[in-house]
């Protein structure tokens, strides 16, 4: 999957793809491919001991029965406990399994406890993306028995989604299976990407299943671009580049007591390749590196007209520790129509609709909740829907920061496109990380990237630097650790591609379009 976007699906989209496959006479073949992918994942990660497969009555159970047949063919000892089959293909694959010598026994808590005694791995094929909480009491008991075995050391592999999770929610609503791996079929799901639901899902293994890509793209909520795609977005310099052509960036921020935020944004901009970076502030900003230029202003209302008269920069980042005048400053700067990143104090509901094509808003979940007038739990429960609503409210491009971040930007058809970042490190949950990201985004804007390309590339560059910093330091990461890794992270994403263009500026590559799904309304879930 190195150079291909991964799609994000909700239950409605998954059902529509299945219906289309069924109309084409391909659903049986797709289930066969899914079951084979599950069997391969089990053999690769848990090759020893009997395999216990739990099959529900729907299509998820059908996938488990196909997986059992493939494991049996590979010489694995296989035990299957199943609920009564409801789906026609589940009934068909139960008969096929029996034809090759497999045995299917009824699933009861007592039978499950007996079977778990010698199991080397449990495959959870009880419930899939069509499930809506809460669990029925009988299944809740089964889930509890599986989790008890998991806690005692028996590995668990879930098919598509751990049973009991709502595919559309990052917050589990009640009990669910806790998996070591989840083999997700066709596309990613919200529950596998965010929050506690993702933690319960373990390692995510994507089995893309080779349905026509247009069918999947047409039903997707969004995409997760590959590192190869992100690397292709990053700017390249001509051999005769100089500081004046590498982007002139202004950082507008820093108020007594919050001066470090502006300094970190400036450092992030420098490390992301900006040629000239100037921090404009009301307060004395610490000189974190001598390459960073500083200008202090007594009052923003008088300073902004003078700054405008100096000639505008290639990009601006504002709001990081800016203080009580941030709203007025943001309104003025947005009127300049230069590429702009708005963060922290500049994120005001009163600025709704003032965004333009070259601006990027960067709220964290708490700021997003304030902008939307909703509890923060509503944002973290469904970050995709929240990012879409923010873009519709604010205009321009939105980066909803988190683990992972979501980028939302407008499409020419009037819809909203979503892109989910990959990677990052838990150690990045510390002060100043968002300020650093704002500087990175401004640097990419100043080097000529569009707002949407800068946002998609910037969040992954930031995350990759965090991964490198985490590997180097282990714990207690600070924002300057991440800044220090930006150059190496850039090379990671660019791979073997040359970082420069020939002196005439002629490109050696084309910029691939990240595959996206456009939606104009929030999903049902």
User: Is 403 annotated for ligand binding?
Assistant: yes
User: Is 160 annotated for ligand binding?
Assistant: yes
User: Is 60 annotated for ligand binding?
Assistant: yes
- In the DSSP assignment, the letter for residue 254 is -
User: Is 243 annotated for ligand binding?
Assistant: no
Q: In the numeric block, which tokens belong to residue 252?
A: 């507008």
User: Is 131 annotated for ligand binding?
Assistant: yes
User: Is 382 annotated for ligand binding?
Assistant: no
Select from 478, 376, 411, 357 the least CA-distant residue to 401: 376
* Dihedral of alpha carbons 335, 341, 346, 349, sign: positive
Q: Report DSSP letters for 330-354, one per residue.
A: HHHHHHHTS-EEE-GGG--GGGTT-
- Find the angle CA(214)-CA(450)-CA(430) to the nearest 5 degrees: 95
User: Is 124 annotated for ligand binding?
Assistant: yes
User: Is 402 annotated for ligand binding?
Assistant: yes
Give me the torsion for CA of 12, 14, 15, 19, rounded to 10°. 140
User: Is 405 annotated for ligand binding?
Assistant: yes
Contact (CB, 8 A) for 525 and 378: no
Query: Which residues, 6+ apart, have CB-to-CB distance to 127 below 8 Å?
Result: 56, 58, 60, 139, 161, 163, 164
Select from 225, 229, 168 the least CA-distant residue to 194: 168
User: Is 10 annotated for ligand binding?
Assistant: no
Select from 306, 302, 304, 314 the least CA-distant residue to 277: 314
Distance of CA 467 to the CA centre of its chain: 15
Alpha-carbon gap, residue 176 to 163, rounded angstroms: 6
User: Is 355 annotated for ligand binding?
Assistant: no
Query: Which residues, 6+ apart, have CB-to-CB distance to 151 below 8 Å?
Result: none
User: Is 377 annotated for ligand binding?
Assistant: no
User: Is 227 annotated for ligand binding?
Assistant: no
Alpha-carbon gap, residue 300 to 203, rounded angstroms: 49
User: Is 435 annotated for ligand binding?
Assistant: yes
> Which residue is associated with the tokens 């490190």?
425
User: Is 63 annotated for ligand binding?
Assistant: yes
φ/ψ of residue 53, rounded to 5:
-110, 130
- Residue 104's beta-bridge partner residues? 80
User: Is 247 annotated for ligand binding?
Assistant: no
Contact (CB, 8 A) for 383 and 405: no
User: Is 62 annotated for ligand binding?
Assistant: yes
Give me the torsion for CA of 63, 69, 70, 76, rounded to 10°. 120
User: Is 132 annotated for ligand binding?
Assistant: yes
User: Is 434 annotated for ligand binding?
Assistant: yes
Numbered residues of the known binding site for AMP: 401-405, 434
Numbered residues of the known binding site: 59-63, 124, 128-134, 160, 163, 261, 321, 364, 401-405, 434-435
Numbered residues of the known binding site for K(+): 60, 124, 163
Numbered residues of the known binding site for (6S)-NADPHX: 59-63, 128-134, 160, 261, 321, 364, 435
């Amino acid at each position: 999957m190195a150079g291909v976007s991964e799609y994000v699906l909700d239950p409605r989209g998954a059902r529509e793809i299945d219906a289309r496959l069924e109309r084409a006479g391909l659903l049986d073949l797709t289930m066969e491919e899914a079951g084979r992918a599950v069997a391969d994942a089990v053999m690769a990660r848990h090759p020893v001991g009997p395999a216990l497969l739990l099959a529900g009555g729907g299509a998820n159970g059908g996938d488990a029965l196909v997986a059992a047949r493939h494991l049996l063919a590979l010489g694995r000892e296989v035990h299957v406990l199943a609920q009564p089959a409801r789906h026609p293909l589940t009934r068909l694959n139960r008969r096929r399994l029996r034809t090759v010598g497999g045995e299917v026994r009824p699933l009861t808590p007592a039978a499950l406890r007996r079977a778990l005694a010698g199991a080397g791995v449990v495959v959870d094929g009880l419930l899939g993306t069509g499930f809506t909480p809460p669990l029925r009491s009988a299944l809740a008991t089964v889930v509890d028995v599986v989790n008890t075995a998991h806690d005692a050391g028996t590995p668990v592999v879930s098919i598509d989604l751990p049973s009991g999770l709502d595919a559309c929610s990052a917050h589990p609503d009640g009990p669910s299976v806790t998996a070591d791996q989840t083999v997700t079929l066709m596309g990613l799901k919200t529950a596998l990407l965010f929050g506690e639901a993702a933690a319960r899902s373990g390692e995510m293994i994507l089995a893309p299943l080779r349905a026509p890509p247009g069918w999947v793209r047409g039903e997707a909520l969004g995409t997760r671009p590959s590192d190869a795609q992100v690397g292709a977005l990053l700017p390249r310099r001509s051999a005769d580049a100089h500081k004046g052509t590498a982007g002139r960036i202004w950082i507008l921020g820093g108020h007594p007591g919050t001066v470090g935020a502006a300094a970190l944004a400036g450092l992030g901009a420098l490390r992301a390749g900006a040629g000239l970076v100037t921090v404009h502030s009301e307060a004395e900003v610490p000189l974190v590196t001598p390459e960073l230029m500083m200008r202090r202003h007594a009052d923003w209302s008088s300073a902004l007209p003078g700054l405008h008269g100096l000639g505008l920069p290639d990009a601006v980042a504002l709001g990081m520790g800016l203080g009580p005048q941030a709203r007025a400053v943001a309104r003025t700067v947005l009127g300049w129509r230069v590429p702009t990143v708005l963060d922290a104090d500049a994120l005001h509901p009163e600025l709704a609709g003032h965004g333009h094509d070259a601006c990027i808003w960067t709220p964290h979940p708490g700021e997003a909740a304030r902008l939307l007038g909703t509890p923060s739990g509503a944002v973290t429960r469904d970050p995709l829907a929240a990012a879409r609503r923010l873009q519709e409210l604010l205009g321009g491009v939105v980066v909803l920061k988190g683990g992972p971040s979501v980028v939302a930007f407008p499409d020419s058809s009037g819809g909203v496109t979503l892109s989910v970042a990959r990677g990052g490190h838990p150690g990045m949950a510390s002060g100043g990380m968002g300020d650093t990201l704002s500087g990175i985004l401004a640097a990419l804007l100043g080097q000529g990237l569009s707002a949407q390309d800068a946002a998609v590339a910037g969040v992954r560059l930031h995350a990759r630097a965090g991964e490198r910093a985490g590997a180097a330091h282990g714990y207690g990461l600070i924002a300057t650790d991440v800044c220090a890794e930006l150059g190496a992270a850039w090379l990671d994403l660019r791979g073997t591609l040359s970082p420069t263009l020939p002196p005439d500026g002629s490109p050696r590559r084309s910029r691939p379009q990240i595959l996206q799904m456009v939606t104009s309304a929030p999903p049902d879930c």
